[in-house]
Amino acid sequence: DIVGQRDVPGRPSLYATTKTFLDDLNLKSLADLPPMESFVQAPLVEEGLDFDAPPSPTPVEEN
């Protein structure tokens, strides 16, 4: 749930964990979540992209 907004430019929302979230995942507390280190880090999609390449033209569909 959104519990507030940061007092910085753009005023991003601040979120909090609710009892409903914990109940839905059958957790007693956030301590029951697995540590972040246990997740396999997926390779970044960006690794295979060439951001410096010029954009390719978009084909136009004819009716």
pLDDT number for residue 24: 94
Q: Which tens digit of pLDDT belongs to each residue from 20-53?
A: 989 999 999 999 988 888 777 766 666 666 777 7
Confidence of residue 61 (pLDDT cuts 50, 70, 90): confident
pLDDT at 4 over 80: yes
By C-alpha distance, which of 1, 46, 39 is closest to 19?
1
| Whole-structure pTM value | 0.43
Higher pLDDT, 21 or 55: 21
Domain extents in the chain: 1-32
CA distances from 32 to 11, 24, 27, 35, 58 (A): 31, 13, 6, 9, 48
